[in-house]
Structure 1
């Protein structure tokens, strides 16, 4: 334990030193105006932001409106550094000057990607008036104006209009102010990607929790129930930290928005303690370890109750320290049980190693010692996911060993004992069957391509035979198109795979923008190749859609990170279902047509196997 605590202190001090070295440089002269139409300017938003600290008793701390700030206020330029501040009683003001240099009005969003801020007030001053938005997690959720877990400020600018945006932020915890100026399209795309990530994470937690509950009901084994309890408690804690709980569970109870975080943290600590005791089989014979776990359980109940009594800043600090100590203690107890010959403990130790690292990084980000809270949240989810996989693997190993022991007893015991062994073995088989069914359900969830968000090859293989059968039954046409990016290897070689991924995402956006009917299928076929399946579509109609896509793609250049623009082109092969065709015949003919389009010079569509010429 002393060595672990020294490691924790060393890591914390290193992070604090990094924050100190990266602190912004004061520049009170001006805050550079940002051209909202310039994507590069928006990407360098932190080079255009200034902030002002208002310590208790100062004018900036007492001011409730911008006109109460002193004219000689010492604004500090962020100089491109993240706006991350450790816990204090300071009020922070942030200023951003924006300008729309285009000849058309436009809408942008200023996004603040951190949900746990007590008071957030936006002021937008334009040509004729000043708008104010008062929100925060100490206000009802509807005060945000937009149903979103983070804070969004719509920024509407007329042609040539300039505006100044001011924020006042005050919070009882750490201050993370990750600001981003984005377009509506980019906002929706980012939100969709995060929704997929969070949906998979929380959905997997829920499925595994339900599985453990069923195993507990089936077998009566206590650690299944405690594992389910832990998964639910940890899921609720992450749900509250991410702002989802405030959005969906108690939008009209702002007081519980902060209280829920330390409460669910205490619940998670209680659940992990009970599961550790049960899984590691720590009973009264273990002496000190058993007493330590009993004190941990009692302490968890106390800090859960204190969450409703203490201020949030004190409660969350107490809970974080207590949680780290509990995780460290469970890690040490797992090591001890491993050395005592309890073989399954090695997987438990490995699982808690991930948890120690993930919790420490997440805590440092939540307290303002590490930047990019969104990335740390995803890292914490990955740590929890890895831990859940290892813990469930450990339980499977325990089932295996237990089954072997039962088989040994079967050969040596009397008839009555043999009957008990058979009953226990049947229970284990039922549990394994339930686990296999749950794994099949998880496999059914993997029908989407993670990079583009489109359907994947697996989904396509499942749906095309059914659509072919329906087309033959109803006599309606069915058209398939294979689309491939021209010279895609050259893009990867010249600008890197990250740019190649961006190009694939742009192609996916282009396809979904043109193919919008509910029954149409847009899928990533593999690599840089995409497939379109268009029911009730003639070859002529399909060719018109594809030619529009090819023209739109060729006319929409993509910007590289170096500021260059790259024009992409696509080649397409089109075919339609003929009598006697199978799904494989469709794929084969579309691929042949695509090959001809490539050979004929690319950036074109070729048709194969359609009885009606286009």
Structure 2
């Protein structure tokens, strides 16, 4: 009977394979009609794919037919492979979508992602992306890969992807409208904000306790929290986007480094928390030392061994270390240590989520909302429970001191009072830090003046006030003349110096409280002048132009002169919400200034130039 079932299953697999091979020749076509209503389509079930053992190029694929497999089960994880994978999907009726669209590749940690848009067997657009390529090569500034469909100029295209990954071959692919993407991205950012918020609260809470009690166990815990935060921040792709966008090699280095540092800190914490050197059996102490040595070696080998191999070693060692922590928690629980209850629960929870994560990356299970965020959920719950274990341990020590002498009780009471004060002080400091962070979010990081987002918020308010008060409003758009040539000749650091100098000079010419200067993008600046007519705007613009013209910078013994072109637009608003027209008018005048030979001002009112 068993043999019959096996033969029957084998026949079904053969049939399934033959059907798959037959359908793989053409692949599936995704109709994008009326995407404004549909919002989003998952593409994985529509993908055709094959493992590339010959390192083929796009020209090879277009020159002759290859046997593709159809991803009928909608796989998102194809395991681990040293070979590239090719994927393709055909998108039809782009011109009937009804809304601008992205194709989203939602896994940030692929080494190389070659993208080819093909129409009529010819490549019409291509990108080379991945975390081994500088971040600014991406068509859209985001931690995942977004491929806009605008500008393809064809109603039917085929998307080819060549994916190279030393880690898991995860390919979560969908097509969605801009609005749907920003809705999903907002929800994900809320989750990440909550996760990192909890982690930072845990860090600072225990940091203040560490400052107070000077217990080395708290230091190891803080080291563990910090390593976890850095690793998770890197795994989300945010560190590449925000911290080192021009250093792709740093991504894998940081992942491997903190994949070693995090469990290493955890082992030191466990040894100190449970006082293994004085309370554990010799075998347990020996195992703890072996794990410490193993993770030190892993850290060193991460700089010489291949990424994929080190990652496999790290996963095996990390699973062993978490299992060891669970074993110790249960052992000390049965020995009557009350703090070990939450300690054991912490490692059990983390072990469960690590198993979920390992099953996903080995393609044993397919990614889902839990497995995608398994490390984040597990680490957050574990660290919260470990912090609670600290509380249990403090209570135990408190009771021991109470039984020992009355003075210990007084000391503990004083400690608790000081702790309450520290917590309140920490809350105040966190509020002050949030206020500082809010200020940083509205300032341009290079020049120190306001950024574009903050300008648009204030400009809308001022426009509505001018409409209500029937008052003039002027906007000046400024662009640095020949800035690209300056960058190419003297280098980007000197270009940055020029932008900072120009920002300082412009700020010196805008003195009224309601006036505002902001960096609008690249070498462009924008100035908001409430209560200023076209004549006043022209005066302010000329003052700014002359002030910049007087700048003289030195570079390797040579003098460098700067100039700007300015477009000014002024209006008495007749509509409540027509700020964009005023900005466009100023931009058009800037264009005229450029066309007129640069280093000049072109002004106009709502009625014309």
Scaled by the length of structure 1, the TM-score of the pair is 0.62
- Structure 1 counterpart of 2:75: 82
Contact 1:101 1:161 (8 Å CA) reproduced: yes
Over the aligned positions, Cα root-mean-square deviation in angstroms equals 3.1
**Counterpart in 1 of 2:606?**
none
2:406 corresponds to 1:408 = no
Question: Structure 1, residues 70-121: CA drift from partner, whole Å, max 9, x if none?
Answer: 5230011111422321111222111111122655775211111111111101
Q: Which residue of 2 aligns with 1:393?
A: 388
Q: Relative to structure 1, is the Cα distance of residues 433 and 338 closer, same or farther in structure 2, using a 3 angstrom cutoff?
A: farther
| Aligned pairs for 1:529-548 within 5 A | none
Task: Provide the secondary structure at the position in 2 that maps to 1:109.
Answer: strand
Query: In 1, distance between residues paired with 2:363 and 2:59?
Result: 26
Residues 538-557 of structure 1, C-alpha deviation per residue, up to 9 Å, x if partnerless? xxxxxxx9xxxxxxxxxxxx
Residue 224 (structure 2) aligns with: 230
What is the match of residue 50 of structure 1?
48
Q: Is the 8 A contact 1:50 1:95 kept in 2?
A: yes
Q: Secondary structure at the match of 1:350?
A: helix
Q: Does 1:121 align with 2:119?
A: no
Q: Is 2:319 the partner of 1:324?
A: yes
Partner of 1:72: 65
Flag the 1:270–1:133 CA change in 2: closer, same or farther, 3 A.
Answer: same
1:92 to 67, 85, 97: 85
Match of 1:333 in 2: 328
**CA positional deviation for 1:433:** 4.6
C-alpha distance in 2, partners of 1:104/1:336?
Answer: 61
Check the 8 A contact 1:48/1:96 in 2, yes or no.
yes
For residues 29-83 of structure 1, the C-alpha deviation after alignment (integer angstroms, 9 at most, x for no partner) is 312221223456953523322112212xxxxx32222445552300111114223
Q: 2:28 aligns with which of 8, 26, 32?
A: 32
Over 3 Å counting, the alpha-carbon distance change for 1:234 and 1:343 in structure 2 is: same
- Structure 1 unpaired stretches of 5+: 1-19, 56-60, 412-417, 446-544, 546-614
Kept in 1, the 8 Å contact 2:34–2:98? The answer is: no
CA deviations on 1:326-377 (whole Å, 9 max, x unpaired) are 1111111222222222121111001100000111211222333332265423
Q: Which deviates further from its counterpart, 96-105 or 205-214?
A: 96-105
- Pairing 1:301–2:296 present: yes
Provide the C-alpha distance between the structure 1 equivalents of 2:420 and 2:271, rounded to a whole number of angstroms. Answer: 24
Structure 2: stretches of 5+ with no match in the other structure: 1-13, 434-575, 577-609
Contact 1:104 1:158 (C-alpha < 8 Å) held by counterparts: no
1:321-470 map, 5 Å: 321-372=316-367, 375-411=370-406, 418=407, 422-435=410-423
Q: Give distance in 2, aligned partners of 1:248 and 1:378.
A: 21
Structure 1 pair 52–285 and aligned structure 2 pair: CA distance change class (3 A): closer
TM-score normalized by the length of structure 2? 0.63
After superposition, give the CA deviation of every residue in 1:444-487 in whole Å (9 maximum; x if it has no partner): 99xxxxxxxxxxxxxxxxxxxxxxxxxxxxxxxxxxxxxxxxxx
Name the SS of the counterpart of 1:114 in structure 2: coil
Change (3 A) 1:103 1:281: closer
The answer as to whether partners of 2:202 and 2:384 remain within 8 angstroms in 1 is no
Distance 1:432 1:351, change over 3 A: farther
The answer to whether the 8 Å contact 1:122/1:133 transfers is yes
Instruction: Give the SS at the match of 1:308.
Output: coil
Q: 1:425 to 1:309 in 2, by over 3 A?
A: farther
- Paired with 1:30 and 1:358, the residues of 2 have a C-alpha distance of 40
Q: Secondary structure at the match of 2:249?
A: helix
In structure 2, what is the Cα distance between the partners aligned to 1:156 and 1:296? Answer: 53
Contact 1:176 / 1:373 at 8 angstroms: preserved in 2? no
For the 8 Å contact 2:24–2:70, the answer to whether it is kept is yes
Matches of 1:157 and 1:106 in 2, distance apart?
13
Shift of 1:423: 3.6
Aligned to 1:175, what secondary structure does the other structure show?
A: coil
CA-to-aligned-CA distance 1:111-150 (integer Å, 9 cap, x gap): 1111111110111124786111001111111122322111
CA distance in 1, matches of 2:347, 2:151: 51
Asked if 1 retains the 8 angstrom alpha-carbon contact of 2:45 and 2:75, the reply is: no
Structure 1 residues 101-112: aligned runs within 5 Å: 102=95, 106-112=99-105
When residues 103 and 383 of structure 1 are mapped into structure 2, their CA distance, relative to the original with a 3 A threshold, is closer
Q: CA shift at 1:156, angstroms?
A: 2.0
Which residue, 260, 265, 268 being the options, matches 1:274? Answer: 268
Partner residue in 1 for 2:481: none
Matched residue of 2:64: which SS?
A: coil
1:523 aligned residue: none
The answer to whether the Cα contact below 8 Å between 2:34 and 2:97 also exists between their aligned partners in 1 is no
Equivalent-residue separation in structure 1 for 2:24 and 2:357 (angstroms): 33
Corresponding position: 1:185 with 2:174: no
SS in 1 for 2:100: strand
Structure 2 SS opposite 1:133: strand
